[in-house]
Amino acid sequence: MAADDDTLQALIARVALGDAQAFEQLYELSAPRLLGVAMSLLGRRERAEEAVQEAFFKIWQRADSYSVTAGPPFAWLAAVVRHQALDLLRSERRRPLEFGDEEHVASLAERADERPDPLDLLEQAIDALRLRNCLQAVPQQQRRCLALAYYRGLTHTQLADQLAAPIGSVKVWLRRGLDHLRRCLDAVA
């Protein structure tokens, strides 16, 4: 269950006063999401759990340093977890590998494999260049409509307002722009 900002702010304020019950509630409400933050950085559940546990120890000690003007309470909690996870990553890099660290080495190898290889990067660059060249060939009004729709995520209604044009025209410009782009990309592929 995700807690709203007001609830988290109140709990953090009570934790700053040394309220153990508020600390327990804060943990129950935010730990699952914070574990996700740590997992995204560390990749291993046991390390992520360790990061969250250490972060909550720091939260208990430093709850009085949280200020409402600094931002939302969950962002502050996530920053504490993120810093703790990064500290754990740094300590792993400095630590010499020991006998029995096969799982750690395997997880590092899996993370390294996730990066694209040079051939994939080259193909992505070529695709981006083709797309850019084909976009330049699309008539200006259609290109502008495509950019606003796909880069800014505007809806048809928002596009019509932004471009001061009827919604029907916007839909036609989008369709024709996509058709033009598709024909161009098919021709260069």
Residue-wise pLDDT for 143-169, tens only, equals 998 888 877 778 899 889 999 999 999
pLDDT of residue 3: 72
Angle in degrees, CA 86, 92, 96, rounded to 5: 160
Separation of alpha carbons 114 and 118, rounded Å: 12
Domains and CATH numbers, the chain: 5-113 (1.10.1740.10), 118-188 (1.10.10.10)
Q: Look at the block and give the residue holding tokens 């259609």.
A: 142
pLDDT at 117: 67
Q: Look up tokens 């269950």; give the residue.
A: 1
Residue 43 zone, left/alpha/beta (φ > 0; ψ -120 to 50; rest): left
| 108-140 residues labelled b (16+ CB within 10 A) or e (exposed) | beeeeeeeeeeeeeeeeeeeeeeeeebbeebee
Q: State the pTM of this model.
A: 0.50
Which tens digits make up the pLDDT trace of 49-108? 999 999 999 999 988 888 877 778 888 999 899 999 988 888 776 555 555 555 655 555
